């Protein structure tokens, strides 16, 4: 089941670990379809900008990462055809999703480091869910942080920075305002929301090739 807008909007008092470091990696020149808080990879001159709205606690987002993202990166992002932006949304449990995103941005992460950490969080998603049942989710996230070269002090500072909550809240609001995003993952190509069938690599590659041919 795809996450609903209701689950995406669960950002209130339940955000027990909510937080974030200030967006890192240095100032970036923003493209037409990018926001100031985005950490984007791929050529700034790419004719196509693909935005993925996703959550590290969304099972379907993990499936997209496992089945589509690496092919997308190899064939389109790394070749300069696509500029890729990952935008943070919260799905249940929202406090864990928020903490994961703040960990991903922590310690001055570059866009590449950020997305690598997001990938690790997808890989560890099942372990995090299992640990959550025993009240041990923080420990699993801390292990990811340490594997990324972060200290426990850095990790704690990042997951308790209230600015991160505000950034994610604004991302969710603009997702609804601009594109009527009602579930994750959702893809937006050059400002146009794609249909759910674009979440398969076969269909997404067809769309990207067709759009590139118009440029």
Q: Residue 52 in 3-state DSSP?
A: strand
Burial of 78 (0-12, 13-18, 19+ CB in 10 A): middle
85: helix, coil or strand?
A: strand
Q: Residue 12 pLDDT more than 90?
A: no
Half-sphere exposure of 63 (CA within 13 A, CB side): 10
Q: Assess contact for 95 and 154: CB atoms under 8 A.
A: no
What are the Cα distances from residue 88, in Å, to 101, 153, 189, 206? Answer: 7, 23, 16, 26
- Domain positions in the chain: 5-15+31-213
- Please tell me the predicted confidence (pLDDT) of residue 28: 53
SS3 content of the chain, % helix, strand, coil (to 5): 50, 10, 40
Residue 159 pLDDT > 70, yes or no? yes
**pLDDT averaged over the chain?**
88
Tens of pLDDT, residue by residue over 39-58, are: 999 999 999 999 999 999 99
| Phi then psi dihedrals of residue 189, to 5 deg | -115, 120
Average pLDDT in the 77-98 region? 97
Give me the mean pLDDT over the 156-175 stretch: 92
End-to-end CA distance of the chain: 36
Band (pLDDT 50/70/90 cuts) for residue 211 is very high
Higher pLDDT, 117 or 3: 117
Superfamily assignment of 5-15+31-213 in CATH?
Glutaredoxin (3.40.30.10)
Q: Are 108 and 90 in contact (CB under 8 A)?
A: no
Task: Please report how many Cα atoms fall inside a 13 Å half-sphere around the Cα of residue 97, on the Cβ side.
Answer: 26
- Say whether pLDDT at 25 is over 60: no
pLDDT, residue 22, reads: 36
| pLDDT score for 3 | 43
């Amino acid at each position: 089941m795809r996450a609903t807008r209701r689950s995406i909007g669960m950002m209130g008092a339940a955000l027990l670990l909510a937080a974030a470091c200030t967006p890192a990696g240095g100032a970036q020149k923003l493209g037409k379809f990018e926001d100031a808080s985005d950490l984007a990879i791929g050529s700034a001159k790419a004719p196509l900008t693909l935005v993925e709205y996703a959550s590290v606690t969304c099972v379907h987002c993990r499936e997209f990462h496992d089945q589509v993202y690496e092919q997308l990166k190899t064939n389109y992002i790394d070749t300069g055809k696509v500029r890729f932006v990952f935008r943070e949304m919260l799905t249940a449990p929202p406090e864990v999703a928020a903490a994961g995103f703040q960990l991903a941005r922590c310690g001055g992460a570059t866009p590449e480091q950020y997305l690598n950490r997001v990938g690790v969080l997808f890989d560890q998603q099942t372990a995090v869910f299992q640990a959550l049942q025993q009240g041990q989710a923080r420990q699993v996230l801390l292990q990811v942080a340490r594997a990324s070269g972060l200290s426990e002090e850095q990790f704690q500072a990042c997951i308790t920075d209230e600015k991160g909550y505000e950034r994610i809240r604004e991302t969710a609001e603009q997702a609804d305002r601009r594109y009527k995003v009602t579930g994750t993952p959702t893809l937006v190509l050059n400002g146009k929301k794609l249909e759910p069938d674009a979440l398969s690599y076969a269909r997404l590659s067809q769309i990207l090739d067709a759009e590139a041919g118009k440029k």
